Chains A and B, each alone.
Chain A
Amino acid sequence: QKEVEQNSGPLSVPEGAIASLNCTYSDRGSQSFFWYRQYSGKSPELIMSIYSNGDKEDGRFTAQLNKASQYVSLLIRDSQPSDSATYLCAVNMGSGGSNYKLTFGKGTLLTVNP
């Protein structure tokens, strides 16, 4: 069973702090990793994708990937109350070139307190 694990939270941080969200995955051959944000009652919204080991920065968001440890994380700097949402880690565990299905974790609920 190929799995993606996330702490369900809730993770609570004060406004302006750094929020750190973590994800581990079971399939060592996985190559593509995504973070989605989901507000309550809404659909997932793509924040970042990462494919190579190391860090990838986009504005206040930084994704970090360590394939040897099968670990991917998302850092949110200068957290804002509008960042309060569930963050979903998704991994493409497809074995073939035509298989792009995503396996999602259960998500981590982040609350940013003003």
Chain B
Amino acid sequence: DTGVSQDPRHKITKRGQNVTFRCDPISEHNRLYWYRQTLGQGPEFLTYFQNEAQLEKSRLLSDRFSAERPKGSFSTLEIQRTEQGDSAMYLCASSPQGVETQYFGPGTRLLVL
């Protein structure tokens, strides 16, 4: 059990650019979650997958955000036309079938200049 991994760990980009983050969940965890955390706040739910199906999206996830989990294993989160307000820590978590406890990866810290 190697834990949830995320790549990259840090990303600096210019406003208007597209960025993509990857999350590899704990092996055999069929549920995968994306959260966003800004300074001084708790993580905020963005979206959730059960296997390859995206079951829920937060209204925080504007049209510029898209997430995929094509084979039910790793997931990607893409942000198009980044804005300075997108600067945050993007956290991925996973959990196994029937278990509510979520285990977080190290996060990807995004800075939009």
Contacts and interface: CB of A to CB of B under 8 A. Distances in A.
Interface residues of B, number: 24
A46 B103 contact: yes
B48 A100 contact: yes
Interface in B40-78: 40-45, 48, 50, 55-56
A24 B109 CA distance: 29
Interface of A: 4, 8, 32, 34, 36, 42-46, 49, 88, 90, 92, 98-107
Contacts of A99: 48, 55-56
B25 interface: no
Query: What 8 pairs across the A-B complex have the smallest Cβ distances?
Result: A104-B42, A101-B45, A43-B104, A43-B107, A32-B100, A44-B104, A104-B43, A106-B42
Overall SS of chain A's interface: strand
Contacts, number: 57
A104 B44 contact: yes
Contact of B95 (A36, A44, A100): A100
B43 A44 contact: yes
A107 B42 contact: yes
Interface of B: 31, 33, 35, 40-45, 48, 50, 55-56, 89, 91, 95, 100-107
Contact of A49 (B56, B100, B104): B100
Nearest to B89: A43
Given A42-B106, A43-B106, A46-B103, A102 B55 contact: no
B101 A106 contact: no
A39 B19 CA distance: 26
